[in-house]
Each structure stands twice: as C-alpha cells, then as structure tokens.
Chains A and B, each alone.
Chain A
Amino acid sequence: MQKSIRNEIIESILYVAGVLYKLDNSIVQMINENQETLKNIWLKEVNLFKDKEIASYTTTLKLSEDTDQQFFELLIKHINYNDISKDGTLDQFFDQVLHTGLPLKYLTQGLQIARRVILNMLVEAEMDQDKLSAFYREIDSWLDPILNRVVENSSQIWERTVSLQKTALMELSAPLIPVFKNISVMPLIGSIDTERAKLIMENLLNGVIKYRSEVVLIDITGVPVVDTMVAHHIIQAADAVRLLGSTCILVGIRPEIAQTIVSLGIDLSLFPTKSTLQKGMENALEITNQKLISNK
C-alpha cells in the first residue's frame, strides 16, 4: 500500500519536473517499439555508405557485419540511459572499432544515419510542430554527446600514437656509441631538425665526457640532405667538441653531398672529414695511438 503511494508521489514529481522527462520517455518508447524497422533501415543505409566510401577496407568488412549489429544495439541501449558513460560499453565499442583500423567516418556516419532514420520515423508519425521540434532537441541531446565522445576517443588514440612515435624517434635520434678505448661513434640517420640538432649536441658533449672520448666520429651516411642549417649544427657541435679537447671527425660524406656542400659554399675545413666510417676509424686509431692487430 505504502509502496504504491510512493510510486504515485514519484510519478507526480517527475511529471512536475518537466515536459522534458515525458517527451524523453515517449520518444524512447517510440524508438523501442520500432526498433526492428529502424535497425533494418539503418543497416541498409550503413551498408550503402560502406560500399561507396570504405570499399578499400574490404578485409575488415566481414568483421563489421557483426560490428554494425552491435553498434546499433548499443545506440538503442543508450537511449534508455541519459549518461553515455554509464556502463562504458559504448566507449569500449568505439575503442575496439578504432583499433581494428576502421575509419572514424564509419562511426560518425553511422551516428548521422541513426539520427536521420529516427527523425524520418518521427516526421512520418505526423505530430504537431511543437512536439516535433521538442523531439528534435531531445534526439540532438541524446546523439551529440555520443558523437563528441567518438571524436574525442579517436583523437586521443591519435595523440597517443603520435607521442609514442615521437618518443621512439627521440630515443633513436642521436646515440653515441663507444667503440674502442677513447673512440666513440655517433651515427645519424634521417632528417635533422632543430630539436634533433639540440639533442645531437647534448648527447655528443655528455658522451665525450662520460666515455672520455678523444675522438668522436659523426657519421652522416644516413642523412638525406645536408643544407646550410644541418651543416651549421654539425660545425657548432664539432666546435664544441674541440673546446672539450677532443677531436671530431665527420665521416660518411657521399659524393653528391660533397658537391652540394661545395656549391653552398660551406667551409668544413675546421675539422677532418673522411668519406667512410672505416677511414675515419683508421684515422681515429692513429690519433689515439692504437692499432688493430689480427690474431694469427
């Protein structure tokens, strides 16, 4: 007896709380009732879109047959909640889809199709203007947070990937390798930008102190372009090494790089240069009074 009174009170409070609740409720009811029809139209439209737009993802298409079903069911399920992060299943689903390599536009398009399909249903249901526009707002406030969440998730995944790769690149950036007593090598591979140039300088100077290197070989075999900026940084680094009392030898200068350096008019005569790492190493052994002896 008491229970039913309480229910009545709750209901009346909710009623007073606003038209919004009532609309929300009736729209949910409507969508739930027509779930199967909506789903079929949605699946058809999504498949149309997939054939047209993401045909290149054919390998994953088979997988996405199930994905489509799951996508729509999750959407419907989340009408009943107001909070999209309620049980995390939607987030999980987005993560899963984005990690399998399906494009973001599959998700955004899927949501837009859902919105269109539901709005079509409402228009066909023939209701008065006020109610219809209230429904529009209702559907927007239901779908927009989901859309936001999708975009947020995908950009987070991208940001994470980029920052991971950046760290990985940084670690590969400028290693200084002690090879023989007092001799170290810094092999450089790939383009050099200002950030990397700073790292090269730091690692070079720290390494020279740490390994007590008398000779440092900078190998630029893997640097595709040596322009004035790269040359400038190498000259500065070599100069700084000289200040520490060590010698810097630039090795791995390819013939075409030698020609462009000459054309650019860059003066590299302040420190020794060699064509290959091997020649540089022979030179370095000479400077440090060491010899390679074959064991025969």
Chain B
Amino acid sequence: MDIQSCVEVRNEWDIVSARQLGRNMAKELGFGNVDQARITTAISELARNIYLYAGRGKICIEPIDQLGRKGLRIVALDNGPGIREIRKVMEDGYTTSGGLGAGLPGVKRLMDEFSIESTVDVGTEISATKWLR
C-alpha cells in the first residue's frame, strides 16, 4: 500500500491505465465518488499533457500519511521541452495546442495542493495532492 506505483506514458492507452491505477488507489484509500472522479480527471489531464507535449514520461501515484492525515499524491514527470511561461500556463484559456486551455489550472482546482517545476529543455515535474476528508 505504501509503495509508489508508476505508469509509463507513451501513448494514449497509457493514459487510460494511469487513470485506472489512480482510481483503484483512491478507492482503496477510501475516497468518495466525487473525489475519485476528481483524482482520475486530474491524472488524465497530467498524463495527456505528457503525451501531447513531452511525448513520453511517467505518472507516479502514492498514498501519503502525514501525522495521521491521509491523502494521495500524483507526480507527473517528463524530460520534455519544459514550460517556458508557467504563469501563463496556469491561466484559464491559455493553450498552445488548440485545446481548451483548462488542463493545468483545472488540475489545481481539482486537487488540494499543487506544485510545478519546469526547466526549459530539461523537463517538467508536477505534483498534486488530494487529502482524505
């Protein structure tokens, strides 16, 4: 249960398996229906970003326990081109691929904690946490 599970993201089907893993872990931890949907949607967004922009990377999901406070952390890692303007990316409606531009700001709203680190030409690491209420 404490072991981190990772899913490699290389194609669209890997997004589905990352999602499935997240849903199962959320269910096991005792998250409700709505939070399960939030977590899976967040994983879906992060995994799709990896697939679209970096080509390949991985999604790691781990249960966390901080002084009895339980939660689930999603970490999205890639060695892609990186994000040049993080502030812009976090604005609603900003997109470089013709999408809705709601992905990253959406993930931030879906989850409780959100952090993003990115270096141009090196890669991106996004981590998002949802606490069990």
Proximity bits, B18-49, A CB within 8 Å = 1, else 0: 01000000000000011011101100110010
9-residue interface stretch from B1-9, B78-86, B102-110, B121-129: B102-110
- For residue A194, CB closer than 8 A to chain B, the reply is yes
- For residue A85, CB closer than 8 A to chain B, the reply is no
Shortest beta-carbon distance, B53 to chain A, in Å?
A: 13
A256 touches B36 (CB 8 A): yes
Chain B residue at smallest Cβ distance from A255:
B34
Instruction: List, in ascending order, chain A residues with CB within 8 A of B36's CB.
Output: 256
Kindly count the residue-residue contacts between A and B in the assembled complex, taking CB atoms under 8 Å apart. 70
Instruction: List, in ascending order, chain B residues with CB within 8 A of A170's CB.
Output: none
Given A225-B19, A264-B109, check contact A231 B41 (CB 8 Å). Answer: no
Instruction: List, in ascending order, chain B residues with CB within 8 A of A115's CB.
Output: none
Question: Number of contact residues on B: which range applies?
Answer: 20 to 34
- Of residues 228 through 264 on chain A, the ones whose CB sits less than 8 Å from some CB of chain B are 228-229, 231-232, 235, 255-257, 259-260, 263-264
- For residue A224, CB closer than 8 A to chain B, the reply is yes
A260 touches B110 (CB 8 A): yes
Instruction: List, in ascending order, chain B residues with CB within 8 A of A23's CB.
Output: none
- For residue B92, CB closer than 8 A to chain A, the reply is yes
State in angstroms the CA–CA spacing of A116 and B119 once bound together: 53
B109 touches A259 (CB 8 A): no
Main secondary structure of the interface of A (DSSP, over half): helix
- For residue B113, CB closer than 8 A to chain A, the reply is no
- For residue B60, CB closer than 8 A to chain A, the reply is no
Q: Pick the contact of A225 from B37, B92, B105, B109 — CB < 8 Å?
A: B37
Q: List the interface of chain B (C-beta within 8 A of A).
A: 12-13, 15-16, 19, 33-34, 36-38, 40-41, 44-45, 48, 92, 99-103, 105-106, 109-110
Q: List the interface of chain A (C-beta within 8 A of B).
A: 191, 193-195, 224-229, 231-232, 235, 255-257, 259-260, 263-266
